[in-house]
Chain A
Amino acid sequence: MPETPRRSASNLPPLSLHIPEPRYRPGDTPDFGDIEVPAIDATPRPGEASKPDAMRELCYGLVRVLDFDGQAKGPWDPKLAPELLRSMLRMMLLVRAFDDRMFRAQRQGKTSFYMKCTGEEATSVASTMALDRADMVFPSYRQQGILITREYPLIQMMNQIYSNRGDHLLGRQLPIMYSAPEHGFFSVSGNLATQYPQAVGWAMASASKGDSRIATVWCGEGSSAEGDFHSALTFAAVYNAPVIFNVVNNQWAISSFSGFAGGERTTFAARAVGYGIAGLRVDGNDPLAVYSATQWAADRARTNNGPTLIEHFTYRAEGHSTSDDPSAYRAAQEYAAWPFGDPVLRLREHLVKLGEWDDARHQALQKELDDLVKTTQKQSEKLGVLGHGMHQPFETMFEDVFEEMPWHLKEQCAQMLAEQEAKFGPDWKPE
């Protein structure tokens, strides 16, 4: 067989492997001046039933409503009543107050782990407010804002964080891995993006039953690299499932910047293009834009116009969790330099501009919420904190593996109880 003619290898530069590198590391002075901030009216609002291929540019633009002077403008302005805006501000402030107390509780040794969502409050709170209360949400681990917005009792969240006697998950789950079916909130998994195909399955079930409820699901830009994300988008596209995919692009996945999820080449919203579904890229620090985009996607899903992928372009102001120190891998001034500001301050400014809010009311609200969180924390701590005594009966370790406990688990349970007796003496009784 004759050899295929080809260029001599010696005439080519050697191959090289690209390893992405964030622009700024500790010690650098970040400058995000090159991040494009499109004009508010540059991003059109198509009808909810528009064909995805007619609105691809939305995947590369940015849905915005609030300008940086606190004015709501443009085609995406949801024109919300002041009462609703105040409620939104309240929820975002409550999330922040809750995060601060729970972060401190972890530092005080009362629990093993905590994750704040500072700077990302709008992506959960505003989004949830645009859904129906009966819609099902499949959260990732940073959506405490959903539970708070749906008025899940704060004490239940704290009890879960402390794995105490009041934890209805019986101390089985890592802190913040809540589960709240009555609040339409699926059990949080520690395995990333697994909730993505599950949300699609729930949405497919809803559609096949002729229901009116839709599903929504969250992940970070980092875990959008998981196969589950792509499985989910494939299924949603194939079955036109009534689901909203949220990708919270907060720039960082622990210490890996968004480039390790493909962010150097395109937007995360643009993942929608390849699947032929609707995609929106939204200023995630603009609560009104988040609300409006979610409302658009929810209307679209509810009218059998299929799934939408929403990229919330935002910034993770704090560490990934209590277990990492962001000053070890990124420039300290990044959040201060972030061109989209702080979502809480932006909403506050908007309400002030409307004449519907002022400093005195803001301070009063902040105090009210701080007091609420503190009081609730005291009540929760009466039910115990992690590492100080056992809070669940030992047998609960073996319950709920199956609906009925099979013989081998009964045997192992008896063994474990005997071990406790050996440790704690003959008078020991299981709790």
Chain B
Amino acid sequence: MMSAPTKTMNMIEAINSAMDVMLARDSNVVVMGEDVGYFGGVFRATAGLQKKHGKTRVFDTPINECGIIGVAVGMGAYGLRPVPEIQFADYIYPGLDQLVSEAARIRYRSANDFVCPMTVRTPFGGGIFGGQTHSQSPESIMTHICGVKTVIPSNPYDAKGLLIAAIEDNDPVVFLEPKRIYNGPFSGYYDRPVEPWSKHAASAVPEDYYRIELGKAATVREGEAVTVLAYGTMVHVAKTVIEELNIDAEIIDLRTLLPLDIEAIEASVKKTGRCLIIHEATRTSGFGAELAALVQERCFYHLEAPVERVTGFDTPYPHSLEWAYFPGPVRIATALTKILKD
């Protein structure tokens, strides 16, 4: 697979390439959303796609998330494979009824008469001074809906392969893009210069079609001392801290939250006997709670220490105090020290 011609891409370019490939391969794929057409999206994820594939394949929509998702459900019923963009994950709530009660349920309630092969792309997460309406991480709202798959890539190579698999999937997928790492992996140190993706191995992205199966985690780093479960931006922050502390941690990048790769989690925690869960989203009822419960249910007799969670706080995402909110190196290091103490 990696022998195919590759190009150095950042995450935006990889996501753009995935849509480009799928628009060319499947005439039923349509890309739509606020500002995605001529302008190419506020984050440039759809740049050039309208010019290349035409206005009826890639187009702007009204500022109306209920309409965007509802219309996509109808397009799916017709036989299209819509890829709507919600400009920020924080804006998805007006479309939530269409997602929860319609997209996620149509296959079940109609016993396969109708399906919804839709992929909702949306940038999420903070660390960009976006304030409370441009920084949220609503992934556990998505995983709590039965009938939607939830995917979160952490690098350009995965982003393209996972997005192609999501678009080809015959069920609705919410594809959450960690916008802090669109242009480069994030160490967690906001005061240090951003490293570009070009210095990272995962920026070598095949130009053509390839897919990464949904529901499979990736082991980012093998280790024996502790298992770190993370996704999106937090994979990179975790890696930085672990390297600084010189801890022999195993980092599992979940990549798909639902369906979850429970085998990879179980195997790793049984090996290390310790587990740290990291996410940027608020703590209470966050996806970390689900992970902690699963690890406890399945690996209890292998655990040497209580499962720890490092998360955002249960407050709205603050603007000026963003870095006090963000689960950065200090919070992660404290948890790792605690979990490794005994």
Could you tell me which A residues sit within 8 Å of B by CB distance?
136, 138, 168-170, 172-173, 177, 179-181, 186-187, 189-191, 194, 196-206, 208-209, 215, 227-228, 231-232, 234-235, 238, 400-403, 406-408
Q: Which residues of A contact B66 (CB under 8 A)?
A: 197, 227-228, 231
Tell me, yes or no, whether B97 is within 8 Å of chain A by CB. Answer: yes
**Complex alpha-carbon distance, A180 and B110, angstroms:** 9
Q: Which residues of A contact B30 (CB under 8 A)?
A: 208
Q: Which residues of B contact A401 (CB under 8 A)?
A: 107-108, 146-147
Q: Which residues of A contact B262 (CB under 8 A)?
A: 407-408
Select the stretch in B73-81, B155-163, B227-235, B314-322 that faces chain A. Answer: B73-81
**Complex alpha-carbon distance, A2 and B100, angstroms:** 52
Pairwise interchain contact B70-A403, C-beta atoms closer than 8 A: no
Tell me, yes or no, whether B207 is within 8 Å of chain A by CB. Answer: no
Pairwise interchain contact A202-B70, C-beta atoms closer than 8 A: no
Pairwise interchain contact B110-A187, C-beta atoms closer than 8 A: yes
**Complex alpha-carbon distance, A338 and B113, angstroms:** 40
Pairwise interchain contact A231-B70, C-beta atoms closer than 8 A: yes
Question: Given A173-B109, A194-B97, 15 other A-B contacts at CB below 8 A?
Answer: A169-B109, A179-B111, A186-B77, A194-B98, A194-B101, A197-B67, A197-B71, A197-B74, A201-B77, A201-B78, A202-B74, A204-B74, A403-B170, A407-B259, A408-B260
Shortest B37–chain A CB gap in Å is 12
**Complex alpha-carbon distance, A191 and B101, angstroms:** 7
Q: Which residues of B contact A181 (CB under 8 A)?
A: 110, 113-114
Interface residue total, chain B, C-beta cutoff 8 A: 47
Pairwise interchain contact B113-A187, C-beta atoms closer than 8 A: yes
Within 8 Å by CB of B62, from A173, A180, A215, A234, lies: A234
Q: Considering the complex, give the chain B residue whose CB is closest to the CB of A405.
A: B259
Q: Which residues of A contact B77 (CB under 8 A)?
A: 136, 186, 198, 201-202
Q: Which residues of B contact A206 (CB under 8 A)?
A: 78
Shortest A175–chain B CB gap in Å is 13
Q: Which residues of B contact A200 (CB under 8 A)?
A: 67, 70-71, 74
Pairwise interchain contact B109-A172, C-beta atoms closer than 8 A: yes
**Complex alpha-carbon distance, A173 and B101, angstroms:** 13
State which residues 228-266 of B face A: CB under 8 Å.
258-260, 262
Tell me, yes or no, whether B306 is within 8 Å of chain A by CB. Answer: no
Tell me, yes or no, whether B171 is within 8 Å of chain A by CB. Answer: yes
**Complex alpha-carbon distance, A179 and B109, angstroms:** 9
Within 8 Å by CB of A205, from B74, B102, B107, B112, lies: B74
State which residues 112-164 of B face A: CB under 8 Å.
112-115, 146-147, 149
Q: Considering the complex, give the chain A residue whose CB is closest to the CB of B67.
A: A231
With A234-B62, A234-B64, A234-B67 already in contact, the answer to whether A205 and B109 are too (CB < 8 A) is no
Pairwise interchain contact B215-A406, C-beta atoms closer than 8 A: yes
Tell me, yes or no, whether B167 is within 8 Å of chain A by CB. Answer: no
Q: Which residues of A contact B78 (CB under 8 A)?
A: 136, 201-202, 205-206, 209
Q: Which residues of A contact B80 (CB under 8 A)?
A: 205, 208
Q: Considering the complex, give the chain A residue whose CB is closest to the CB of B169.
A: A403
Tell me, yes or no, whether B56 is within 8 Å of chain A by CB. Answer: yes
With A196-B70, A238-B62 already in contact, the answer to whether A172 and B56 are too (CB < 8 A) is no
Pairwise interchain contact B107-A235, C-beta atoms closer than 8 A: no
Shortest B65–chain A CB gap in Å is 9
Q: Considering the complex, give the chain A residue whose CB is closest to the CB of B263.
A: A407
Pairwise interchain contact A179-B113, C-beta atoms closer than 8 A: yes
Tell me, yes or no, whether B276 is within 8 Å of chain A by CB. Answer: no
Q: Considering the complex, give the chain A residue whose CB is closest to the CB of B59.
A: A239
Pairwise interchain contact B62-A198, C-beta atoms closer than 8 A: no
Pairwise interchain contact A169-B111, C-beta atoms closer than 8 A: yes
Within 8 Å by CB of A235, from B64, B170, B258, lies: B64
